[in-house]
């Protein structure tokens, strides 16, 4: 009896490991509504360049320098300014969620005019704006380009892109983005009386709500997530709304512990279900086939024709002291060879492995593989989305 129980325990243990062996954590496949970063942008000047700045054709750079000097009480006619050591740039940065004032973020600097290189330059104080037009960070510092460009009168050597660079921790955050886990994430554009109505309605329900959004929409995955959360919380708190969003009601025991709730359910193991896809990149010859790809019974015949063209121009010289001229007579040989086609039959319900083995059997190259997959899709035998990028 003990041996039977031990065997059952080992069987269910193996079943458990097999079932969850190819799972992903919930935090890796969903985003939380309201938790998002923001992109910032600004316009600035890079100084200290060694003659590789903007030329006279970049009028906006000259005007920017004139405006900057006027702020310091220096008035110079823009006709008298010739810039070689200054470049106008666009400064961009990513503001992660929950970033507080005083923290630093990386910035990227890109030339806006006709500067040849930003190597050795220093970005002057540049305000970084958000989509709402407010200043969220200030950027300044020396630029790290990671490339160089050297040229002479008849030659030029360049590595990487010397007109774009980064400033690690080059921006100081001055304003934080208003975000957090408020009740149902009330929209700020609503009128005060409308917000009161929403609060009264929410008070009659189970509590605030959080929406989890799948990074890759799928109905099966959304249902699995809601089921796993309800099993963990021992109640009907999660409800899938569509193929992307799962609505989660905060249990009373987690009313003031939303961070703890997200931390716990974020480690739940979920087996995501993805639709069958075949992704083709014709530029590089890369083909990625998903595991759920299925094909119907189909016969694949693959053969090609090779044509070889050889040129043997012949030169005929005139006899000595004759009035003739040297003549070049073209001579062309063309040879066409047709290779014997290989035929492979794939049975009903063939899997990814069967498809790969069949394509290897016909000796398909990367380019030919793309054509074969497109032909199988056109025949209606490939049950997957064929995506060409």
Q: Are residues 169 and 58 in the same domain?
A: yes
Count CB atoms within 10 A of the CB of residue 207: 15
pLDDT single digits (tens) 227-284: 999 999 998 999 999 989 999 998 988 888 888 998 999 999 998 887 788 888 877 7
Note whether residue 131 is domain-resident. Answer: yes
pLDDT value for 190: 45
Low-confidence ranges of the chain (pLDDT < 50): 1-21, 182-190, 195, 198-199, 202-206, 307
Q: Are residues 112 and 157 in the same domain?
A: yes
Domain with 213 in it: what CATH number?
Answer: 3.30.70
The mean of the pLDDT values for the chain is 78
Cα(164)–Cα(92) distance, integer angstroms: 11
Contacts of residue 295, Cβ cutoff 8 Å, sequence gap at least 6? 346, 350, 354, 355, 376, 381, 382, 383
Query: Which ranges of 42-191 would DSSP assign to H, the alpha helix?
Result: 59-71
Cα(377)–Cα(389) distance, integer angstroms: 16
Q: Are residues 149 and 99 in the same domain?
A: yes
Note whether residue 18 is domain-resident. Answer: no
Among 217, 239, 270, the domain boundary falls at 270
pLDDT value for 328: 75
Among 220, 249, 270, the domain boundary falls at 270
Note whether residue 1 is domain-resident. Answer: no
pLDDT value for 8: 37
- Nearest CA to 289 among 355, 367, 217? 355
Cα(141)–Cα(123) distance, integer angstroms: 5
Note whether residue 295 is domain-resident. Answer: yes
The domain of 350 spans 277-309+337-388
pLDDT value for 183: 39
Q: Are residues 60 and 165 in the same domain?
A: yes
Q: Are residues 187 and 143 in the same domain?
A: no
Note whether residue 222 is domain-resident. Answer: yes
Q: Are residues 190 and 68 in the same domain?
A: no
Domains in the chain, number: 3
pLDDT value for 126: 95
pLDDT value for 323: 75
Output the CA–CA distances (angstroms, integers) from residue 206 to 49, 181, 193, 232, 239, in the order listed: 62, 16, 22, 18, 13
pLDDT single digits (tens) 94-120: 999 888 999 999 999 999 988 888 988
Q: Are residues 166 and 44 in the same domain?
A: yes
Note whether residue 239 is domain-resident. Answer: yes
Q: Are residues 140 and 82 in the same domain?
A: yes
191's tokens: 């009128």
Q: Are residues 110 and 196 in the same domain?
A: no
Among 254, 270, 286, the domain boundary falls at 270
Q: Are residues 254 and 197 in the same domain?
A: yes
Note whether residue 144 is domain-resident. Answer: yes
pLDDT value for 147: 63
The answer to whether 46 and 5 have CB atoms below 8 angstroms apart is no
94's tokens: 């990513």
Q: Are residues 57 and 112 in the same domain?
A: yes
The answer to whether 25 and 59 have CB atoms below 8 angstroms apart is no
| Phi/psi at 209 (5° precision) | -125, 155
The answer to whether 20 and 269 have CB atoms below 8 angstroms apart is yes
Cα(179)–Cα(4) distance, integer angstroms: 56
Q: What angle do CA 248, 251, 252 make, to 5 degrees?
A: 150
The answer to whether 107 and 142 have CB atoms below 8 angstroms apart is no
Note whether residue 136 is domain-resident. Answer: yes
Q: Are residues 160 and 192 in the same domain?
A: no
């Amino acid at each position: 009896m003990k041996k039977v129980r031990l065997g059952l325990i080992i069987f269910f243990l193996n079943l458990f490991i097999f079932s969850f062996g190819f799972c992903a954590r919930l935090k890796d496949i969903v985003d939380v509504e309201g938790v998002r970063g923001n992109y910032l942008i600004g316009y600035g000047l890079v100084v200290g360049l060694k003659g590789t700045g903007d030329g006279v054709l970049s009028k906006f750079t000259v005007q920017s320098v004139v405006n900057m000097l006027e702020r310091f009480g220096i008035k110079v006619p823009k006709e008298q300014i010739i810039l070689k050591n200054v470049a106008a740039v666009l400064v961009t940065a990513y503001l992660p969620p929950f970033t507080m004032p005083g923290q630093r973020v990386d910035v990227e600097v890109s030339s806006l005019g006709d500067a040849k290189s930003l190597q050795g330059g220093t970005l002057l104080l540049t305000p970084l704006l958000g989509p709402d037009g407010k200043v969220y960070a200030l950027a300044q510092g020396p630029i790290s380009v990671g490339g160089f460009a050297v040229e002479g009168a008849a030659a030029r050597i360049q590595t990487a892109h010397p007109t774009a660079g980064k400033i690690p921790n080059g921006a100081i955050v001055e304003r934080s983005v208003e975000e957090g886990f408020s009740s149902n994430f009330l929209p700020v554009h609503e009128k005060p009386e409308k917000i009161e109505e929403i609060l009264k309605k929410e008070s009659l329900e189970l509590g605030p709500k959080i929406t989890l959004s799948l990074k890759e929409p799928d109905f099966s995955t959304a249902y699995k997530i809601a089921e796993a959360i309800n099993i963990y919380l021992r109640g009907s708190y999660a409800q899938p709304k569509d193929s992307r969003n799962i609505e989660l009601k905060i249990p009373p025991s987690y009313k003031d512990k939303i961070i703890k709730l997200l931390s716990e359910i974020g480690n739940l193991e979920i087996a995501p279900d993805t639709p069958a896809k075949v992704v083709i990149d014709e530029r590089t010859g890369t083909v990625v086939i998903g595991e759920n790809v299925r094909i119907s019974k189909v016969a694949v015949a693959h053969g090609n024709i090779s044509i070889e063209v050889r040129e043997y121009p012949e030169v005929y010289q005139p006899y000595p002291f004759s009035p003739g001229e040297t003549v070049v007579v073209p001579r062309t040989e063309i040879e066409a060879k047709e290779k014997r086609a290989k035929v492979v039959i794939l049975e009903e319900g063939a899997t990814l492995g069967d498809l790969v083995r069949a394509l290897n059997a016909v000796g398909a190259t990367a380019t030919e593989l793309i054509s074969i997959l497109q032909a199988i899709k056109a025949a209606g035998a490939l049950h997957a989305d064929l995506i060409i990028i």
